[in-house]
Structure 1
Amino acid sequence: MLNKEVKKRFLYFTITVMFSSVAYYFSTGIYNCWFLTWLAPIPLFIYALEATTASVVFASMTTYLIGFSSGIFAYSNTIIPISILVYGNIINAILFTILLVLFRYMVLQKEHWAWSFIFASGWTALEFITSQHSPAGTIDSIAYTQVFNLPMIQIASITGIWGITFLLLLVPAGMVLSLYYRKNSKLCLKTIVLPISILILTLIFGLYRLNVPAQGPSVKIGMASISMSMEELRSRGQQQEAEKIISRYIHCINLLSRSGAEVILLPEKIINLNLNEQPKLLQLLADAAHNNQITLITGLSIQDDSKLYNSAYLFSPKGEYVLKYDKQHLLPFSEGSYTPGQELNIRDLEGMGMWGIAICKDMDFEEPSRGYSQRGINLLFVPALDFKADALLHARIAIMRGVEGNYAVARAAQWGLLSLSSNKGNIIEMASNDTEKGDVLLIGEIKLDQGKSIYGRFGDWFGYFSEGLFIFLLLLFSLSKRKSNDDST
């Protein structure tokens, strides 16, 4: 009999961990099956209310470490040490488990409809706090799994990604808790009504925003990324190799221009350039913009006297260099010798609105993206690098930044995706740079909107709200438990 009970518990544990792990694995990282993110925590929440504390801890840790490993393995191919990535994943798994055990404890100790908010507010607060201090910024947020769920992500224009994270955990927790309270119909109804109502209102807002037509002008944007091995990338500072790379890109620029591109974007750090010794190389790019009568934006690694910058240059159709942006968030372990930028740079074009520039990893953070939104840009250009395996991970972050800030995003990665997305997250065009396929060209026309958003204006108010709600729920639990103890005595 005891043996049967042990087998039954083990089977229950295995099914729970397998379902939640697989759902998280295929909804996060490189797979992006967004609907699974909503289902993933349900078995864990059910298990937390029925199993022992020790079993819940083990199930939670195992689920997180397996389920979120797709992102870890994607980045293991980059220059970030895998040991650091694994360490961060373990810390997150511990925090996830603490919140799940807290949810279990509160529900089992005192019945209340509000406990469905404890895990959602706690995890949202943790994501928010981590993003303020982590060198990876917001990259770990589960909100990015919803990039292709267009009605849902529109709420980011008000709450930032934090509102999405909150809902992804609130709705499953509310469903499980209402099921747990099913014998008390009144409490069951109170538990589920608010989470479902919030979800419905969010979707209504999303559908409304998606159907509001853009009010601004249209612009035709071209992007190019030439196939390049790691050896070629490392030698792009040599004069002969740099000239060869620029020559290939000028050929791409000519092709895109003949196809009607008005603006052309190239990837991050296409060559290493010493301004004092190689001014001719910069002039070649300026001439390409002038000869084709296009606006050209390209990423360059710039040696200027004793300082090294990861920069993006904007050349006007007149062949003039009119704007330079320096990358603010440099990649750890590989860009330590670079000087970070401090300023936003905006190009104000009469009749076309205002355009901004950010570079690759800048998009993993809320700034400079939110600063651009505050200034009302309607189009952001992003030269990028990427490392093949993280292509979708980084592209979807840039798309979400555009929804938050209410501007279109054009992003060209050397070893990733070339993507053009609207201020609502609609993907206008997307292409992958696979070295086996040779050079990649992309061209698309996008209608711009007005720029600015509620999130751009008020910032991370929902992150602070989640912190406050979590603390309030802990106080509410403490007071209600003390009241129950007083009544019993």
Structure 2
Amino acid sequence: MLNKEIIKKLLYFTITVMLSSVAYYFSTGIYNCWFLTWLAPIPLFIYTLESTMAWVIFASVITYFIGFSSSIFVYSNTIIPVSLLVYGNIIDAIIFTVLLVLFRYMAFKNKHWAWSFVFASGWTAVEFITSLHSPAGTFNSIAYTQVFNLPVIQIASVTGIWGITFLLMLVPASIALSWHYRKNSKLCLKTIVVPISILILTLIFGLYRLSVPVQGPSVKIGMASINMSLEELRSRGQQHEAEKIMNRYVHCIDLLSRSGAEVILLPEKIITLNLNEQPILLQLLADAARSNQITLIATLDIQDDSKLYNSAYLFSPRGEILLKYDKQHLLPFSEGSYIPGQELSIRALEDKGIWGIAICKDMDFQEPSRGYSQRGINLLFVPALDFKADALLHARIAIMRGVEGNYAVARAAQWGLLSLSSNKGNIIDMASNSAEKNDVLLIGEIKLDQGKSIYGRFGNWFGYFSEGLFIFLLLLFLLSNSNIFERE
């Protein structure tokens, strides 16, 4: 029989893993309970500083797989092969655990208030480095859980999402570490004061930015997404099916224009078009823009000779094509035959600001979004596809890109959300088409700000800062154990 001590350890382990895992699951997945992200690490961090190494490693791995991995597995395995998904999660779980063990070792070896920054800077650096090399870009960043926490996410206009990730790890780590140092009141206070002060300053900045009135022009934007099955999507390249889809969208354009929409955005890949054989279908969009006197953005699969593009067109109220944008970040397992785009597409309008276009997965990366910010756009149009289960997961990324770059974002997904958000992340309007049987229309008016941001200008400076801080803390630890620095 198990003795009482082992039962006590098992119970403590189980409660810790369940509390952190459940909190992470409901904060990082489709439920998006942002406040739980701040609470989720606390039980695990406290457990890390109170239990033996073997139990800590086991708890860390289990928590990561239950909390982080399972929350996005529901939809990811429909896009990414399961073997690659599991492999990537194993690597992430190992890194997560190594950082946790390092945090524990430093706190035990030499008591110091600065060790609360170790895990924060380390995990932020990991997210940043991963985003530079991963085909998923920034998709898995924990920062996106805070998209509805408006005061906090304003810091993204300065630091990018890396400042948010840093805070999400720093505050719980400092709470756990101060609890660990609770018998030393002076050290306990030092440990908690600096992180909480940083959080308070972040909130003050966020509240100030939210209070600054918008001075730019306003635009009335309409979006449409027709109900389409997977079979219809796959057959959208056939002449008869393409014409039927196009006529349905033309009808939506007519309805939106009658409601006062000045510009109308349609989703990604509405049809597949061979420019040499079906030019009349492109003309239908031009005619719809001209007859309704609206600006129209529509995205199509374009077959041009032997080349295939995922292209967005911007039609003027005269029916002229003013912009063409080719998707830059293509899905590795379904768009391998497409030619990626290389250029930004920007249009300055005399009384409506400066507009840009990106397509779906482009928003998972910080380019071309940052490039648009540097060029001072006020409004970014994002036609998208999505996969129903990831509706909010993907829409919130685009919202955060707008905060980073200081521009409004209009995003229309075929199987997700139609959303209109301001440069500060405010949701002007949002509609879901994932469960609808009918076509979905959305119309909203948004006031545009000046564009450009500190992050847009200086880029990923905070990501590099996190790398440097992590290395500095390791050196500080080594030197402090060599008696070069006075110990606490």
TM-score of the superposed pair, with normalisation by structure 1: 0.98
Gaps of 5+ in 2: none
Asked whether the 8 Å contact 1:77–1:389 carries over to 2, the reply is: no
Shift of 1:438: 1.2
What do residues 49-94 of structure 1 show as CA deviations (whole Å, max 9, x unaligned)?
Answer: 1111010000000000000134432324533212222221111111
**Count of residues paired in the alignment:** 487
Shift of 1:304: 1.1
Shift of 1:437: 2.6
Q: Letter of the aligned partner of 1:305 in structure 2?
A: D
The match for 2:86 is: 86
Q: Secondary structure at the match of 2:444?
A: strand
Question: Which aligned pairs between 1:17-32 and structure 2 lie closer than 5 A?
Answer: 17-32=17-32
Asked whether the 8 Å contact 1:77–1:387 carries over to 2, the reply is: no
The match for 1:367 is: 367
Q: CA 1:291/1:77 → structure 2, altered by over 3 Å: closer, same or farther?
A: farther
The match for 2:380 is: 380
Gaps of 5+ in 1: none
The match for 1:447 is: 447
Question: Which aligned pairs between 1:62-211 and structure 2 lie closer than 5 A?
Answer: 62-76=62-76, 78-211=78-211
Shift of 1:360: 0.1
Distance 2:74 2:268 in 1: 20
Shift of 1:154: 0.2
Shift of 1:320: 0.5
Q: Secondary structure at the match of 2:45?
A: helix
Q: Secondary structure at the match of 2:442?
A: strand
Q: CA 1:184/1:245 → structure 2, altered by over 3 Å: closer, same or farther?
A: same
Q: Letter of the aligned partner of 2:232 in structure 1?
A: E
Distance 1:6 1:223 in 2: 60
Shift of 1:376: 0.1
Shift of 1:16: 0.3
Shift of 1:181: 1.2
Distance 2:314 2:87 in 1: 40
Deviates further, 69-78 or 437-446:
69-78
Q: Secondary structure at the match of 1:285?
A: helix
What do residues 332-382 of structure 1 show as CA deviations (whole Å, max 9, x unaligned)?
Answer: 110000000000010110011100000000000000000000000000000
Asked whether the 8 Å contact 1:369–1:405 carries over to 2, the reply is: yes
Shift of 1:486: 12
The match for 1:10 is: 10
Q: Secondary structure at the match of 1:303?
A: strand
Q: Secondary structure at the match of 1:437?
A: coil
The match for 2:238 is: 238
The match for 1:338 is: 338
Shift of 1:29: 1.5
Asked whether the 8 Å contact 2:479–2:485 carries over to 1, the reply is: no
Shift of 1:2: 7.1
Distance 1:437 1:230 in 2: 14
TM-score of the superposed pair, with normalisation by structure 2: 0.98
Asked whether the 8 Å contact 1:228–1:435 carries over to 2, the reply is: no
The match for 2:250 is: 250
Q: Letter of the aligned partner of 1:31 in structure 2?
A: Y
Shift of 1:485: 12
Asked whether the 8 Å contact 2:223–2:442 carries over to 1, the reply is: yes
Distance 2:69 2:97 in 1: 16
The match for 1:226 is: 226
Distance 2:368 2:222 in 1: 24
Asked whether the 8 Å contact 2:417–2:434 carries over to 1, the reply is: no
Distance 2:148 2:32 in 1: 8
Asked whether the 8 Å contact 2:237–2:272 carries over to 1, the reply is: yes
What do residues 210-246 of structure 1 show as CA deviations (whole Å, max 9, x unaligned)?
Answer: 0111110110000000011111001000111100000
What do residues 121-168 of structure 1 show as CA deviations (whole Å, max 9, x unaligned)?
Answer: 000000000000000000010000000000000000000000000000
Asked whether the 8 Å contact 1:286–1:315 carries over to 2, the reply is: yes
Question: Which aligned pairs between 1:40-55 and structure 2 lie closer than 5 A?
Answer: 40-55=40-55
Q: Letter of the aligned partner of 1:257 in structure 2?
A: S
Q: Letter of the aligned partner of 2:262 in structure 1?
A: E
